[in-house]
């Protein structure tokens, strides 16, 4: 019968894995700085506690039982990950290595965040980055992320926030010149209701609002949209506009390259609304080395940009 007075200690389980990996008590004992008899005794105690034989011992060999092999196969990756985590923690403040996990809105994945991540990875080859893209505001700590990227109106009050990307952005409209060959150019936002429009939809299901301002006048229009595209597929939506399928509304910085080439023409530029650019935010607590290095890189680039 198994001894159920308590669970095996992690030390005993680690010792068992070491015996399997070393293929013997003596080699495992040398690696661990213990005597072979101590290692053998601890394995015997572990088997008694579990109520199952883990090793078949002969004078010439040592082989795991089916239960022992299964246990070792499940424990080995856990201990490997534990060793990696301990090494990352031990070196976290001496060198930039380990994982940087970011939770970001899809809006920054078109042209703002990718080049920054590219430069970060080149400067810090031992670092790894995971980007979780979602448009809804989340608790980054509960989500297991080191930092998030959102726009100012969505930042929690208890977070440290640093600007990332352009400080001011605009919601802009654009359409291919060919689109207006058979249609009048809008003179007022309300005219958009009579046009083919390409709308974007957040992952939450809400459509990106079309808000406009000029002087003291503000107006929101909601054209039904001949085409509705998820924000994760913005490049495709812009291509539809370039092909003459309608007027698209999105960030000006996404459309600017196509304004320069002439593939798209600005629509109602006097009505475009301006808003604050995105922020990198993180908890006011101990900052791991990869995040600190990322924040420092952003600060250096902003200082160089003047």
223/267 same-domain check? yes
Please report whether residue 5 resides in a domain.
no
197/272 same-domain check? yes
58/153 same-domain check? no
- Least confident among 88-92, 146-150, 208-212: 88-92
Question: Which is higher by pLDDT, 135 or 165?
Answer: 165
The pLDDT assigned to 32 comes to 84
User: pLDDT tens digits for 20-35?
Assistant: 888 888 888 888 888 9
CATH code at position 37: 1.10.10.10
118/237 same-domain check? no
86/104 same-domain check? no
From the CB of residue 160, how many other CB atoms can be counted at a distance below 10 Å?
15
Judge whether residue 82 has pLDDT over 80: no
- Cβ partners under 8 Å of residue 271, min gap 6: 189, 212, 213, 214
Question: Which is higher by pLDDT, 271 or 83?
Answer: 271
Please report whether residue 66 resides in a domain.
yes
- Least confident among 87-96, 105-114, 270-279, 294-303: 87-96
- Cβ partners under 8 Å of residue 173, min gap 6: 192, 247, 248, 249, 266, 267, 268, 272
185/269 same-domain check? yes
CA nearest to 36, candidates 53, 9, 57: 57
CATH code at position 260: 3.40.190.290
Please report whether residue 125 resides in a domain.
yes
| Local confidence band at 129 (pLDDT 50, 70, 90 cut-offs) | very high
Q: What distance in Å separates the CA atoms of residue 273 and residue 283, rounded to the nearest whole number?
A: 31
The pLDDT assigned to 239 comes to 97
The pLDDT assigned to 8 comes to 85
Please report whether residue 297 resides in a domain.
yes
163/284 same-domain check? yes
Q: Are 27 and 33 in contact (CB under 8 A)?
A: no
Phi, psi of 4 (to 5 degrees): -100, 20
Rounded mean pLDDT of 226-236? 92
The pLDDT assigned to 93 comes to 54
| Local confidence band at 136 (pLDDT 50, 70, 90 cut-offs) | confident
Please report whether residue 80 resides in a domain.
yes
Number of domains in the chain: 3
3-state secondary structure the chain: CCCCCCCCCHHHHHHHHHHHHHCCHHHHHHHHCCCHHHHHHHHHHHHHHHCCCCEEECCCCEEECHHHHHHHHHHHHHHHHHHHHHHHHHHCCCCCCEEEEEEECHHHHCCCHHHHHHHHHHHCCCEEEEEEECCCCCCCCCCCCCEEEEEHHHCCCCEEEEECCCCEEEEEEEECHHHHHCCCCCCCHHHHHHCCEEEEECCCCCECCEEEEECCEEEEECCCCCEEEEHHHHHHHHHHHHCCCCEEEEEHHHHHHHHHHCCCEEECHHHCEEEECEEEEEECCCCCHHHHHHHHHHHHHHHHHC
Average pLDDT, the chain: 88
Q: What distance in Å separates the CA atoms of residue 194 and residue 295, rounded to the nearest whole number?
A: 46
Please report whether residue 245 resides in a domain.
yes
Please report whether residue 2 resides in a domain.
no
Rounded mean pLDDT of 50-66? 84
Total count of residues recorded for the chain: 306
**Residue 73: which domain range?**
10-91
Of 75, 91, 107, the position where a domain reaches its end is 91
Any bridge partners for residue 197, and if so which? 247
């Amino acid at each position: 019968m198994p001894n159920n007075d308590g669970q095996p200690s992690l030390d005993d389980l680690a010792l068992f894995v070491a015996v399997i990996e070393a293929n013997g008590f003596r080699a495992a004992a040398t690696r661990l700085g213990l005597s072979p008899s101590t290692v053998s005794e601890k394995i015997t105690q572990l088997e008694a506690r579990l109520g199952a034989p883990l090793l078949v011992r002969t004078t010439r060999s040592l082989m795991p039982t089916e239960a022992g092999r299964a246990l070792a196969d499940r424990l080995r990756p856990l201990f490997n990950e534990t060793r990696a985590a301990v090494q990352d923690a031990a070196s976290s403040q001496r060198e930039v290595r380990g994982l940087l996990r970011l939770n970001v809105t899809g809006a920054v994945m078109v042209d703002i965040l990718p080049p920054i991540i590219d430069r970060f990875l080149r400067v810090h080859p031992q670092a790894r980055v995971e980007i979780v893209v979602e448009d809804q505001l989340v608790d980054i700590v509960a989500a297991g992320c080191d930092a998030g990227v959102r726009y100012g109106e969505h930042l929690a009050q208890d977070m440290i926030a640093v600007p990332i990307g352009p400080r001011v952005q605009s919601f802009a409209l654009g359409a291919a010149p060919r689109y207006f060959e058979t249609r009048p150019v809008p003179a007022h936002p309300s005219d958009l209701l009579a046009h083919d429009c390409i709308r974007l939809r957040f992952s939450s299901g809400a459509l990106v609002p079309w808000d406009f301002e000029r002087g003291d006048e503000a107006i929101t229009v909601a054209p039904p949209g001949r085409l509705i595209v998820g924000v994760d597929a913005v490049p495709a939506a812009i291509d539809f506009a370039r092909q003459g399928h309608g007027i698209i509304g999105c960030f000006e910085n996404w459309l600017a390259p196509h304004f320069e080439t002439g593939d798209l023409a600005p629509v109602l530029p006097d009505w475009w609304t301006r808003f604050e650019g995105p922020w990198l935010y993180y908890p006011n607590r101990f900052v791991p080395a990869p995040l600190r290095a990322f924040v420092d890189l952003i600060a250096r680039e902003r200082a160089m940009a003047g």
